[in-house]
Amino acid sequence: MEIQAEVLFQYDKSGRMQQINEPLKMNAPLFFLGRTKDGNVTKFHSALSDTKISEIKKVIAEDSLNVNLSKLINMLKSSTQSIKNLWIGPAYVFSDNINRPSVALKITYENKHLLLKEFPTIFEQLEWRQPCFGIIEDGFVVSICCSARRSLSAAEASVETIEEYRGRGYGVQTAIAWAKALQEEGIIPLYSTSWDNFSSQAVAKKLKLYSYGIDFHIS
């Protein structure tokens, strides 16, 4: 979970979150809680006061196994930012030494034009979204897996299949190729999603990923 937190956010010298770990420089959440069977990982935005952080830590310490999330939300409503988004969902890691085959094609500078029809944003961001793998149908990419965020030790998957091509196992194929490429670099491939994203959870199940914890973000 500490490795995932490093992948997700950028920090100041004191270890406080500042930005989401992407070139777009989007603001980090006010609070991150990663829950695992071995304990909790907490990260705080640099805009939060030491007093507010101490109050949050006290709530977590009251019952580390059943953290009062509604109480945390109410506490943060009076912070420096208004609350606009809540995220909660499972966090996974791929098994070591993946040996499952994949028909996904690596997307590089030479063939990135195949992204333009359905994935123009990734076309623009391809350099920092590597590695990137896609399934080609009808002359263009219809399903893709690339890096959402990345650190020196791990990367988080971003999987998307356009609607009319779903249900064919393409998301699984692209994710396998992406994870294998990272493991060959010595990088840990991670995967997370929200509880209400059932299709993404289905992909995780088909990939036989190991769920190591639950993420909770307040933005």
What does the pLDDT profile of the chain (219 residues) look like in tens digits?
999 999 999 999 999 999 999 998 899 999 999 999 888 999 999 989 999 899 888 888 887 677 777 888 888 776 555 677 889 999 999 999 888 899 999 999 999 999 999 999 999 999 999 999 999 999 999 999 999 999 999 999 999 999 999 999 999 999 999 999 999 999 999 999 999 999 999 999 999 999 999 999 988
Which pTM does this prediction carry?
Answer: 0.92
Strands ordered across the beta sheet of 210-218: 39-44, 31-36, 210-218, 86-93, 188-192, 154-161, 140-150, 132-137, 105-106
Q: How many domains does one find in the chain? A: 2
Same-domain pairing of 48 and 113: no
Model pLDDT, residue 67:
76
Please report whether residue 25 resides in a domain: yes
* Boundary (domain end) residue, out of 92, 119, 145: 92
CATH code at position 180: 3.40.630.30
Model pLDDT, residue 137:
96
Same-domain pairing of 81 and 113: no
Same-domain pairing of 64 and 122: no
Model pLDDT, residue 72:
81
Residues of the chain by 3-state class (helix, strand, coil), percent to 5: 30, 30, 35
Please report whether residue 74 resides in a domain: yes
Model pLDDT, residue 80:
56
Please report whether residue 15 resides in a domain: yes
Please report whether residue 166 resides in a domain: yes
Model pLDDT, residue 78:
64
Please report whether residue 196 resides in a domain: yes
Same-domain pairing of 111 and 88: no
Please report whether residue 23 resides in a domain: yes
Domain that holds residue 70: 2-92
Assess whether the previous peptide bond of 101 is cis (omega < 30° from 0): no
CB contact set of 149 (below 8 Å; sequence gap of 6+): 7, 8, 20, 21, 22, 155, 156
Same-domain pairing of 139 and 193: yes
In SS3 terms, 24-89 reads as: CCCECCCEEEEEECCEEEEEEECCCCHHHHHHHHHHHHHCCCCCCHHHHHHHHCCCCCCCCCEEEE
Model pLDDT, residue 81:
59
